[in-house]
Amino acid sequence: MTNILSFLTLINVINVHFYFVHGFPKSDVDNFYNGASYPFPYFTRDEWEADIPMNVKPLAKPVPYVVIHHTYIPSACNTSEECFRAMRSMQNYHNSLGWGDIGYNYCIGSMGGVYEGRGWNSIGIHAGRANNFSVGICLIGDWRVATPPEEMLETTKKLISVGVENGSISPVYKLVGHNQTMATECPGPALFNIISKWDHYTKEILKF
- CA-CA distance, 51 to 108, in Å (whole number)? 19
- CA-CA distance, 56 to 166, in Å (whole number)? 20
Indicate the residue among 19 and 81 with the shorter CB distance to ligand NAG. Answer: 81
- Minimum distance, C-beta of residue 166 to Zn ion, in the bound complex (Å): 23
Indicate the residue among 69 and 94 with the shorter CB distance to Zn ion. Answer: 69
- Minimum distance, C-beta of residue 49 to ligand NAG, in the bound complex (Å): 18
What are the E-state strand segments in the chain?
32-33, 36-37, 42-43, 63-70, 106-108, 114-116, 134-139, 169-177
- Minimum distance, C-beta of residue 105 to ligand NAG, in the bound complex (Å): 9
Choose the contact partner of 180 out of ligand NAG, Zn ion, none; CB within 5 to 8 A by kind.
Answer: ligand NAG
What are the E-state strand segments in 56-157?
63-70, 106-108, 114-116, 134-139
> What is residue 206's DSSP assignment?
-
Question: Which positions lie near ligand NAG, rule CB under 6 A?
Answer: 34, 57, 75-78, 82, 110, 119-121, 123, 129, 132, 166-168, 177, 179-180, 189, 192, 205
Where on the chain is the footprint of Zn ion (CB under 5 A)? 69, 178, 186
